[in-house]
Amino acid sequence: MRAVCRFLAVSDSVGQMSDVVVRPARDADVDAVGELLGRAFADDPYTRLLFGAAPDAAARASDLFGYEMRTQYLPFGAVDVAEMYSNEFAEKGQP
């Protein structure tokens, strides 16, 4: 059984503490996660093999990752996302 949420405290590059909430992904997260993964893996050798040096390789990879997430991973609860909240706002109850 998987925990619904996990809370972590991390320090950013200037030493400010933030709370990180890790939670199961929802349908509303698919586009953002796909875009993030597309940009992160745009220069990956396998991504280059699939899409070549096309100027829109990152966008194509984003579409692929979003499709895979929506059809292969999300229905089985296999995707988590992390959200970071600054302590300054967390004390006020805002993300």
The tokens for 79 are 């995707």
pTM of the model: 0.69
Q: Which residue from 45, 16, 19, 37 is spatially nearest to 79, judged by alpha carbons? A: 37
The pLDDT of residue 86: 64
Distance CA 40, CA 20 (A): 20
How crowded is residue 18: how many other Cβ atoms within 10 Å of its Cβ?
17
Q: What is the pLDDT of residues 2-58, one digit of tens each?
A: 444 444 445 555 555 567 788 899 999 999 999 999 999 988 999 989 988 888 889
